[in-house]
Structure 1
Amino acid sequence: MSLQWFDFVGFAGTFVILAAYFGLQVRKLDGHGALYSILNLLGAAGILVSVVYAEKMNWPVFSIEFAWIVISLYGIGFSLKRRFAKPTV
């Protein structure tokens, strides 16, 4: 088995998602915070790169990583909206 550059990008993406999840479990990251969603977005994008450049397309992995990116973007938007919302009196 020979690894290509995109395999290493995929491994890095996997590591980032696992690190974010670990940070959530040990309460170092807030699951509603932008950082958690950004890490998930970057991780999913890394895995998606490895899927797209692979010799054979893995459609189930592609679809879940695409969904992960969409959900992460929503989480980032929600977090930023909450952060910059005007306080109600």
Structure 2
Amino acid sequence: MSALDAYAYVGFGGTACIIAAYFYLTASNAPNPFLVHGTNLAGAALLTVSLVKHTNWPSLVLEGFWAAIAIWGLTKAVRKGKRA
């Protein structure tokens, strides 16, 4: 087993973001979409930094989709806010 480097710790930060966002979404009766999608986007970005150094192609593709969905969610929230 190799020692953990800075990239691994950045990846753990991303993992924590995604888990926290999912917990918040599940626990909240009226989740804030900016918080959910923003935290998911941050998590995907941090995990991507880790995965660029420690390449795992399936996980890297997953993070690309995760980030795209988060950006879509943020865009929807901004548009909805402008209509309100």
TM-score, normalising length: structure 1: 0.86
Counterpart of 1:49 in structure 2 is 49
Unpaired stretches in structure 1, ≥5 consecutive residues: none
Shift of 1:33: 1.1
Counterpart of 1:62 in structure 2 is 60
Counterpart of 2:73 in structure 1 is 75
Counterpart of 1:37 in structure 2 is 37
Name the larger-Rg structure.
1
Shift of 1:29: 5.9
Cα RMSD for the two superposed structures? 1.5
More helix per residue: 2
Of all paired residues, the percent bearing the same amino acid is: 34
Shift of 1:82: 0.2
Unpaired stretches in structure 2, ≥5 consecutive residues: none
TM-score, normalising length: structure 2: 0.91
**Aligned length in residues:** 83
Q: Which 4+ residue blocks in structure 1 deviate beyond 3 angstroms?
A: none
